[in-house]
Amino acid sequence: MRRLGDAGMVRRDRQGQGIGRDFLRYRLRAVRNDGRAKVVRLRTIPIVHGFFAKEGFNVVNVLADGYGPGLHCVTMDLHLDVTRNPKALGQPAD
């Protein structure tokens, strides 16, 4: 497994304007264009996992208190194989 990068966080006063989605899709396009990866895996927190779910990521594990007391670590996968995941085409999901 190759490590591709760290968290992408959007400044609080710029959240909710599509920046996070654009940045995530940009990064996923780079992975697809590279061509080697079949699965993209990330770790996030429960209040953010819905953002990634909208882009086709699925929860594969929840580690209770993984980031500290009361803060669970959510592991999510995105399969880039379009036969398993039509959203993986990299097109806008909406």
Ligand X SMILES: CC(C)(COP(=O)(O)OP(=O)(O)OC[C@H]1O[C@@H](n2cnc3c(N)ncnc32)[C@H](O)[C@@H]1OP(=O)(O)O)[C@@H](O)C(=O)NCCC(=O)NCCS
Nearer to ligand X, 35 or 44 (CB): 44
Cβ at position 17, least distance to ligand X in Å: 5
Nearer to ligand X, 35 or 70 (CB): 70
Q: Nearest to residue 31, comparing CAs of 81, 74, 73, 76?
A: 81
Q: Which tokens sit at 18?
A: 């599509």
In whole angstroms, give the CA distance from residue 12 to residue 68: 23
Q: Which residues bind ligand X (CB under 6 A)?
A: 7, 9-10, 15-21, 44-45, 47-48, 50-51, 54
Question: In the complex, which residue's CB is closest to ligand X?
Answer: 20
Q: Which amino acid is present at 76?
A: M
